[in-house]
A and B are shown apart, each in its own frame.
Chain A
Amino acid sequence: MIKSRSKDAIWRALRPVIAASVGLLVGVAFTAMAGEQPWNVLRVILKGAFGSTYDLGLTLFYTTPIILTGLAVALPIKAGLFNIGAEGQLNMGALAVAAVGILCPQVPQPWNILLAGTAGFAAGAFWGSIPGWLKAYRGSHEVITTIMLNFIAAGLTGWAVLALLPSLDSQNPESARIAPSYLLQHFSWFGDAPVTWALPMAVAAAIVVWVLFRFTIPGFKLTATGLSPEAAQVSGISVRFQQWLALTLGGGLAGLVGVAEVMGNSGRFRIGFSPDYGFIGIPVALLARAHPLGLVFSALLFGALQKGTAELDLETTYVTRDLAAMIQAMVVLAVSAEGGLTLWRRHRLAAKSMQPTRVKD
């Protein structure tokens, strides 16, 4: 029995890996139709993602926000909610970080980082708390409200950046620069790639979320709410509060993307800086089955895809950016279909246990 349990655990960990690989291979196979050598395409992707320390650095740079948005989706999933609003939450978070960086240049070294990080978390959390409240106390479906709030956040941050924090030294749609004391140092061993302390922070956030669910009572309450709201309610857990809390915390985690982007990369709020990090977080969380640590690896996969497929445009003749997007889409599809793989295995096991038995007369 113990043996079968550990076998199950291995299978559970292996399953998403298989799914992602299949998706990648199928996606790459499509490039053959465009007249490319699939193996060459695969090589370019891998080389683009991991070929040099600089490439690896950029992959990690993409991975950082994806870990955070993945967590922003995964945490509410544990409580039975689906947060599609990470995109809006990260915009709000980035706006708050930029605002602090621009408006409070005098704050001394370690505290300013903490202040900006807190502001980013708080702004994201606030944005998440709105659908949280609507869900818990008014019964509005969180998928609808979080999607809607994405658009509101996009409009709001755009206006705020141009009207309240305008950039005086450029014509681009972006805010003024944040004070230099807020800029995070790049790690030296990735060349010019903007890998900063934001990456360890994102990983630490994943570990904190893992600890929360694995070892703590507040985490248990969230889990219980997700598994059976009715049973949780009867056992004295306030389901409404837990639902509100889950979306609020999720929003806060997405808000931390602002730290990575504004303080770790551009030094300002660039309108439309996010290549849909908030939405990439969804397959990332699903691929990891909302496991906070597994999520770090699935985020790395999507970060590598983001970086690797970007190279295809330049390195191959026929593969365009769109085809690159398709390869990513195949991975997402394969991950979604992964449930089917589980089903297939169960069927096979069932078939095995249903082997005809010899009937004596």
Chain B
Amino acid sequence: MRGVAKAFGACVANRDVTIRVERGTVHAVVGENGAGKSTCMKMLYGLYRPDCGEILIHGKARAWRSPRDAIAAGLGMVHQHFMLAGPYTGLDNIILGDEPSQGFWRWLPAAWRPIDRSQARRRLQELMAAYHLQVDLDVPVETLPVGVQQRLEILKLLYRGVDILILDEPTAVLTPQEVDEFFTNLCRLKDQGKTIIVITHKLGEVLRYADDVTVLRRGATVAERPVAGMTAPELAELMVGRVVHLQVAPPPSPKLGAEQLRLAKVTMGQRGEKPKLADLSLVVRSGEIVGIAGIEGNGQSDLLRLLLDPGRYLHRASLGQRITAKGEINVLGRDVSSFRAKALRALGLGVVPEDRCQQGLLLSQSLWTNFLLGVQRMPRFGRFGFIRRRQVTSALAAAIKAFDVRPADQQQIASGLSGGNQQKLIIAREFIGDPRLFICAQPTRGVDVGSIEFIHQRILDARAGGTAVLLISSALEEVMALADRILVFYDGKIVQEFRRGEADEAKIGHFMGGGSRGDD
């Protein structure tokens, strides 16, 4: 791929991208969110057409109309969000769109021919054996773990005879164990002569498995070099164009203030099932950051749901509510056991929800509308029920400036922003009105390095200003860098508490994995 450019309207996504990939290597493409990685790969894969420049495969210039052409040329992509039909079996997913049939039926139109699954199964079994990619082909895909679904996606490409695999953020959804397995598979594919392009912004991974790396910044290639001998800070610097402190140097803890959040003996779950949260007690005081570490699915999401809408679970005000909770929750010094989301948010706390697209934003709307969401209850933005548009506009302008949201266009549609900028917008919005309690979940998931640093700094600033922060994150480095106290979640319980600097990654990881105090 050489000198490729692509522009969407006034928004130039790729200015001058050159990527050279050697056959039989693992090539990483890294860059901040919005640097143009995905656009560039979509051009390569035939979803978009380059405005200029060319794509060369095995030295020959190629141009295609659709991903079908790309696959025919031996180039396939595994998207970050898998393209699988949930209720279908693995086998059907793989043959979907390219169903084999016996020669006997050739006279029928393609769509009418009976599907010959055994033929596909035989070929797939050969492939699975050759690449050690074991997948159960006969259960509905939605029942498979994500790691297996990913294997299925790769298998699908191999089945179509693809030589060059593009993987978009392959490890974003995998558990740590699955990540290890994925790397092994990757090496195996490479050894078999396949070429692999990985799009990622996880620097550690690049150093671990890639042979070469191309760094994109603001739509252009800024570096192209072998990975051997590179270090993470070096790579990060190339990505953002300046030195990044991956480890935020935390200022010494200020004096702690009043309790802003207290949970006492909170249990939550469905009757007759293992509780999702068991006998949970925790306190967050003004001026401290309490981090919750743990592998996802150990109760963090449930805790967040409970905290956002305690009345729904504790008070059983709603009929037909299956999941219930008991215990005591105090927010900003008030018992909120009976509070629904509305009353709770009226107390004045900032919340960064776990899933910013679903819970944090109205994706189809402008930045302006999204900024208003949640702050509409504040007196400064309304008068007699009317929106004070000028106030909102000026507050948003200030927020965009302070949080460096790009593009700084208030009418820009939120879905057009990169993940990092979306998150910055949400955090900017939640900081309006200086909340005394800030609950933030996965604040930097899918966010580029530059924005991570920025967001971390904001959270630390808030702490310095006396805000109590509850940080829920599945990124351990993040919790370790920010939190004054770390609570390790396992199976709905707090299994261990550490003060800042008390434990290293290995020790915390031991408890995250369900290890007990005795055997470490």
Contact = CB atoms under 8 A, between A and B. Distances in A.
Asked whether A and B interact, the reply is yes
Contacts of A1: 9-10
Contacts of A221: 376
Contact of A357 (B49, B340, B365, B377): B49
Interface size class of A (residues with CB under 8 A): 20 to 34
A216 B344 CA distance: 22
Interface string A202-244: 0000000000000111101100100110111111111001000
A234 B318 contact: no
Given A137-B319, A228-B358, A233-B341, A354 B54 contact: no
A234 B9 contact: no
A218 B372 CA distance: 12
B358 A238 contact: no
Contact of B51 (A236, A241, A357): A357
A106 to B, nearest CB: 36
B309 interface: yes
B425 to A, nearest CB: 13
A236 B374 contact: yes
B516 interface: no
Contacts of B358: 228, 230-231
Nearest to B53: A357
A358 to B, nearest CB: 8
Interface string B381-413: 110011101000000000000000000000000
Given A234-B359, A236-B345, A4 B9 contact: yes
A103 interface: no
Nearest to A355: B49
A345 interface: no
A227 B361 CA distance: 10
A231 B372 contact: no
Interface string B336-376: 00001110111000010100001111111100010011101
Q: Decide if the interface of chain A is mainly helix, strand, loop or mixed.
A: helix
Nearest to B358: A230
A216 B341 contact: no
Nearest to B10: A1
A1 B382 CA distance: 31
Contacts of B360: 231, 234
A227 B364 contact: yes
Interface string A138-154: 11000000000000000
Contact of B362 (A215, A224, A241): A224
Nearest to A139: B320
Given A4-B9, A217-B386, A356 B346 contact: no
Nearest to A239: B341
B52 to A, nearest CB: 6
A57 B481 CA distance: 74
A227 B341 CA distance: 18
The residue among A1, A217, A361 with the most chain B CB atoms within 10 A of its own CB is: A217
Interface string B34-75: 000000000000000111101000000101010000000000
Interface string A330-361: 00000000000000000000000110110111
Contact of A361 (B52, B61, B359, B364): B61
Contacts of B377: 217, 236
A232 B373 contact: yes
A227 B365 contact: yes
A238 B386 contact: no
Nearest to B345: A236
Nearest to B370: A231
B387 A234 contact: no
B308 interface: yes
Nearest to A226: B362
A216 B387 contact: yes
Interface in B47-105: 49-52, 54, 61, 63, 65
Given A231-B360, A236-B374, A236-B377, 6 more contacts: A138-B319, A217-B376, A217-B385, A231-B362, A233-B359, A237-B342
The 5 A-B pairs with the shortest beta carbon distances in the complex, nearest first, are: A236-B345, A235-B374, A227-B362, A1-B10, A238-B342
